[in-house]
Amino acid sequence: MKTDYNNTDEQIIQMLTPKVEVRPSADLRSRILAAAAQHESAAQPTKPRHGSLRYWIGAAASMAAVVAIAITFTLSSPAYAARKYFSQALIVMQDAKTMVMNLSVRTAPDEPIDYINPTMDFIPATVKVIYNEPMTWSLEKKDGRTVLYKGADEEGNLVYQWIGGKDGRTGWKQPHRGYVEGDLEIMLDPRILLEAERRTAERNKGTKYEILDVGELAIVRVATTAQGEYSKSDYMLNTSLAEANTIREYSFAKDSGMLHKMRIVVNTDKGPVTVIESENIAYNEPLTINDLYDKEQFEKISFINLELAPTEAASPLAGITADEAAKIILDAMGSWDTTILDTAMYYFGDVKEQVERIYKGLEVKSIGKPFKSGLYPGQFVKCKVTLANGEKQELTLALRNDNKQKIWLLDGGL
């Protein structure tokens, strides 16, 4: 029985799972595997579907159910009860063919799909998934950003991203790597998150659990801590699910074991704030590729290939520090020097025209020292500028140079 995951799924699971692990003996493992196979045969009257490695999660969950018996736990333990609910949900969810999840998310419509902000109002978001091989899906913020994977086409095997409800006709595309960048990967396939929670409940003694019995539902609450580096700055704290201290709340239907609802609460300085809540989760509804996105809007968009960012061998943005790059980029915006900006602002597409209207003619007043925060792969630089109209602005530029030529590219902050 195959129980491994692709590298990225495993990284996500490991990120969400504490590193303290109890390893059973080799003999115990062999007995568990044998018992799991017998358990699976008895519990599943229909043949499970095999395809993407994600579909093996259900099989792994069957083994987890036996582990729950093989390893001694106090039956009234919240960790034991939590693991039971996670394992049961994993088993029944392996037969899901489609899922539509309607969410309310505290976020900005135009920001990346995984961005959250506890101070913002809720906006609607929709997740649609067809669990075929390969899994196809879309995540859409209302009148905002959409991320789509509709399978391979004449353009290639690509993930598309664009901002809806805008005059701009620029989007972004990049090769599909078998996963979605950002936290909402776990929303596409909640089994990834449930598997991480199952492992946590099985291995870690420090995680706090709370089990609530509410009529036809069983609610499991799990407390988590923020991932990432915050020793220099907490700038990125509470901007994504991974970069936040959260309480994840799962509601399971007692009769079927299916995940019925999900809610994620961020612990802020001002108290707990709900940032994501599922309004409805529907499984096995009729769903086709054409139902995942607005095809008419899609065909009007010019997509920039993120894998083909310009990388000049002798770029002035290579071989320097992030604050030096920030100074060069802002100076270039003052005179609108496209020899610099066409590279530095490659990701902006036709949005550059809007940026030019605002920032052309700016004067740089100060450039701060670069710093890292959270899980962002680049660095941040605080800058003060005066615009051509006399307005003063404080910017926190996001810069990254994780390309082969180590050229600094502007990733946000305007």
Per-residue pLDDT of the chain (414 residues; tens, 9 = 90+): 234 555 555 554 554 454 433 233 333 333 334 444 444 444 443 332 333 222 222 323 333 333 333 333 334 477 777 778 888 888 887 888 999 999 999 988 888 777 888 899 999 999 998 988 888 889 899 888 898 999 888 888 898 988 876 666 778 888 887 655 555 555 666 766 677 777 766 665 556 788 888 889 989 888 877 777 777 788 888 777 778 888 888 898 888 888 889 898 988 888 999 999 998 899 999 999 999 998 888 888 888 787 766 555 578 888 899 999 999 999 999 999 988 988 888 777 667 788 888 999 999 999 999 999 887 888 899 999 999 999 999 999 999 888 878 889 888 888
Q: Residue 204 domain-assigned?
A: no
Number of domains within the chain: 2
For residue 293, give the nearest of 154, 164, 167 by alpha carbon: 164
Instruction: Check whether residue 397 and residue 349 sit in a common domain.
Output: yes
pLDDT for the residue 395: 92
pLDDT for the residue 226: 79
Instruction: Check whether residue 388 and residue 340 sit in a common domain.
Output: yes
Q: Residue 363 domain-assigned?
A: yes
Instruction: Check whether residue 357 and residue 299 sit in a common domain.
Output: no
Q: Residue 16 domain-assigned?
A: no
Q: Residue 1 domain-assigned?
A: no
Instruction: Check whether residue 329 and residue 394 sit in a common domain.
Output: yes
d(C-alpha 108, C-alpha 106), whole Å: 7
Instruction: Check whether residue 295 and residue 355 sit in a common domain.
Output: no
Q: Tokens for 369, please give them.
A: 């020292």
d(C-alpha 325, C-alpha 252), whole Å: 50
Q: Residue 407 domain-assigned?
A: yes
Q: Residue 87 domain-assigned?
A: no
Q: Residue 7 domain-assigned?
A: no
User: Could you tell me the pTM of the whole model?
Assistant: 0.65
- Domain, as residue range, for 399: 309-412
Instruction: Check whether residue 292 and residue 145 sit in a common domain.
Output: yes
Q: Provide the CB-side half-sphere exposure for 404 (13 A, CA).
A: 7
pLDDT for the residue 339: 87
256 burial level (CB within 10 Å; 0-12, 13-18, 19+): middle
Name residues whose C-beta falls within 8 Å of residue 66's C-beta, 6 or more positions apart in sequence: 32, 35, 36, 39
Total count of residues recorded for the chain:
414
CATH of the domain at 335: 3.10.450
Instruction: Check whether residue 369 and residue 340 sit in a common domain.
Output: yes
Instruction: Check whether residue 296 and residue 320 sit in a common domain.
Output: no
Q: Residue 335 domain-assigned?
A: yes
pLDDT for the residue 388: 92
Instruction: Check whether residue 379 and residue 405 sit in a common domain.
Output: yes
Instruction: Check whether residue 296 and residue 380 sit in a common domain.
Output: no
- Sign of the dihedral through C-alpha 369, 373, 378, 383: negative
* CA angle (108, 112, 114) in 5-degree steps: 90
Distances in whole angstroms, Cα of residue 276 to Cα of each of 104, 122, 261, 324, 357: 6, 8, 11, 38, 35
pLDDT for the residue 328: 93
Instruction: Check whether residue 292 and residue 361 sit in a common domain.
Output: no
pLDDT for the residue 48: 29
